[in-house]
Amino acid sequence: MTGRLAWRVARLADVRTETATARTLVLDVPGWPGHLAGQHVDVRLRAPDGYAAQRSYSLAAPAPADSARIELTVQRVADGEVSEYLTGPYAVGDAIELRGPVGGWFVWRPGDTDPVLLIAGGSGIVPLMAMVRARAAAASRVPFRLLYSVRSPDEVYYGDELRRRIRDDAGLDVTFLYTRHGPQPHRIGVADVNTAGWPAEFAPACFVCGPTGFVETAADILVALGHDPRKVKTERFGPSGG
Ligand SMILES: Cc1cc2nc3c(=O)[nH]c(=O)nc-3n(C[C@H](O)[C@H](O)[C@H](O)COP(=O)(O)OP(=O)(O)OC[C@H]3O[C@@H](n4cnc5c(N)ncnc54)[C@H](O)[C@@H]3O)c2cc1C
């Protein structure tokens, strides 16, 4: 599938700090064909000796109609070959290679009409935020609920924007769940999904994204609560290098 996609040269146009260890990269990608919320890109770094490292990163925002500009949000992983570069030395004006958009299943289209439940663990918020933003950009009235599990309040990505959207985006509900520090820290459980999600009989489209263990737990809870497994779409942010 990705074999057909051409590698393109992207240049870093801007950077936004999300947390102490994550940043959003705003990239100019000449010839970018556009994408859907939920899709990702493959990024390739090449050393002068020809050694190459490739990783996947979700698109954090919907494609603007009039520019070849995309956004990725990268979490620094300790000793991570690619993420340490992208969150550190990679500077405005520098080039990287990328190809995409990749993935046609874990996507939300602005014409979709089912209620939506988004469940994010840590950096799994990235493609789900693209969906929240795509909903707003399309002035969609589809009700969205986001359950965002993160270690502590200072590890929340897009915090100011989420607070603004909670206030301004009618039909968007956001629930934060802290696993280590913050009010009542705990790991996601049935009660969280029951309270912050939709009843199964509403037949929502469910999107779950985050580390593999988190995704499996959340998807199991949804199915145990009666959600149709075909409507529970998952994306695992496990190691993607090769
Ligand atoms: C479809 C898809 C979309 C993704 N989207 C994003 C995104 O939007 N933002 C983002 O930050 N990451 C995302 N990832 C994860 C990303 O592709 C890399 O795996 C991550 O950046 C680590 O790469 P690295 O080269 O820095 O670490 P590596 O050099 O590959 O690994 C260093 C060490 O960290 C461990 N490790 C590797 N990846 C992870 C991880 N994800 N979590 C915890 N430990 C890890 C390895 O086992 C190893 O011990 C996505 C992954 C997939 C498959």
Sign of the CA dihedral with 92 first, then 58, 142, and 104 last: positive
Tell me the mean pLDDT in the region 11-23.
Answer: 98
Q: How confident is the model at residue 66 (pLDDT cuts 50, 70, 90)?
A: confident
Q: How confident is the model at residue 242 (pLDDT cuts 50, 70, 90)?
A: very low
DSSP one-letter code for 39: -
Of 5, 91, 96, the closest CA to residue 54 belongs to 96
Sign of the CA dihedral with 54 first, then 215, 100, and 172 last: negative
Report the SS3 class of residue 73. Answer: strand
Query: Lowest-confidence range among 21-35, 53-67, 89-103, 128-142?
Result: 53-67
The reported pLDDT for the residue numbered 63 is 87
Q: One-letter amino acid identity for 21? A: T
| Average pLDDT score over the chain | 95
The reported pLDDT for the residue numbered 210 is 98
Residue 148 neighbours by CB under 8 Å, 6+ apart: 120, 125, 156, 162, 174, 175, 176, 177
DSSP one-letter code for 7: P
Residue 241 has pLDDT above 60, yes or no: no
Indicate the helix (H) or strand (E) that contains 222. helix 212-224
Tell me the mean pLDDT in the region 90-95.
Answer: 97
Residue 76 has pLDDT above 80, yes or no: yes
Q: Which residue's CA is the closest to the ligand 1 atom numbered 4?
A: 57
Is beta strand 205-210 parallel, antiparallel or unpaired with respect to 22-28?
Answer: unpaired
Is beta strand 40-46 parallel, antiparallel or unpaired with respect to 95-102?
Answer: antiparallel
Q: Which residue's CA is the closest to the ligand 1 atom numbered 27?
A: 80
The reported pLDDT for the residue numbered 3 is 53
Over residues 99-145, the pLDDT tens digits come to 999 999 999 999 999 999 999 999 999 999 999 999 999 999 999 99
Q: Which residue's CA is the closest to the ligand 1 atom numbered 52?
A: 237
Tell me the mean pLDDT in the region 81-85.
Answer: 97
Residue 189 neighbours by CB under 8 Å, 6+ apart: 221
Please answer whether residues 210 and 151 qualify as being in contact, where contact means their C-beta atoms are separated by less than 8 angstroms: no
Of 11, 47, 1, 3, the closest CA to residue 31 belongs to 11
Of 160, 102, 156, 86, the closest CA to residue 124 belongs to 156
The CA distance from 8 to 32, in Å, is 8
HSE-CB at 5 with a 13 A cutoff on CA atoms is 21
HSE-CB at 49 with a 13 A cutoff on CA atoms is 1
Tell me the mean pLDDT in the region 190-196.
Answer: 97
Q: Which residue has the higher pLDDT, 209 or 48?
A: 209
The CA distance from 191 to 171, in Å, is 22
The share of the chain scoring above pLDDT 70, in percent, equals 97
Cβ < 6 A, ligand 1 pocket:
40, 55-58, 73-75, 77, 79-84, 123, 126, 211, 235, 237-241
Tell me the mean pLDDT in the region 159-170.
Answer: 97
Report residue 215: phi and psi, to 5°. -60, -40
Q: How confident is the model at residue 4 (pLDDT cuts 50, 70, 90)?
A: confident
Residue 235 has pLDDT above 70, yes or no: yes
The reported pLDDT for the residue numbered 207 is 98
Q: How far is the CA of 75 from the centre of ligand 1 (A)?
A: 8
Return the ligand 1 atom nearest residue 86 CA: 26
